[in-house]
Amino acid sequence: MTSSTMYSPMSTPERRSRPIGVAILSVLIGLYGFIVFLLGLLIVVGSSLLGSFGGTNLFGHLGVSDLTGGLIVLVIGLVILALAVGLWHLRLWSLVLTILFLVVEMVLYGLASDFISFGFIVAVLLFIYLLAVSRHFS
């Protein structure tokens, strides 16, 4: 064995540890993103079938067609999946986007009700947790 093929602890790159909470959060976000993606796919396919049978427009009150609405939901699902993959790989961009999303959620939950809701408390706890583990992201 030559010296270049021998194992040397000094030659291995430093490996970042993934906090268990980030791993769980990324898996849950990934499952949610997958469900949203499938829902968008179902709406796109369903709109094609309903349109051929003269069905009603699910997104008519928003001023968009079912196909457009389904494509929007599909893209949102893909973005959520990308966010989950970024969290899994400890990417800083996904941490920033997740924190921004949580801030928006906290504001919306705060405006939607006069009392503190369960969703608001969860968003605050996730916000605090992600700030606490932010040193793991690069």
The domain ranges of the chain are 19-89, 92-138
User: Mean pLDDT across the chain, nearest whole number?
Assistant: 81
Q: How confident is the model at residue 64 (pLDDT cuts 50, 70, 90)?
A: low
Whole-structure pTM over 0.75, yes or no? no
- What the block records as the tokens of 108 is 């919306």
- What the block records as the tokens of 36 is 């949203």
Q: How confident is the model at residue 25 (pLDDT cuts 50, 70, 90)?
A: very high
Instruction: Give 60 or 50, the one with higher predicted confidence.
Output: 50
Instruction: Give 107 or 62, the one with higher predicted confidence.
Output: 107
29: burial class by Cβ within 10 Å (0-12, 13-18, 19+)? buried
- What the block records as the tokens of 67 is 């196909």
Instruction: Give 100 or 44, the one with higher predicted confidence.
Output: 100
- What the block records as the tokens of 74 is 């599909």
Summarised one tens digit per residue, pLDDT across range 74-128 is 999 999 999 999 999 999 999 999 999 989 888 888 887 777 788 888 889 999 9
Q: How confident is the model at residue 15 (pLDDT cuts 50, 70, 90)?
A: low
- Would you tell me how many other CB atoms lie within 10 Å of the CB of residue 84? 22
pLDDT at residue 26 greater than cutoff 70: yes
Sign of CA dihedral 86, 81, 131, 103: positive
Close Cβ partners of 115 (under 8 Å, ≥ 6 residues apart): none
Q: How confident is the model at residue 45 (pLDDT cuts 50, 70, 90)?
A: confident
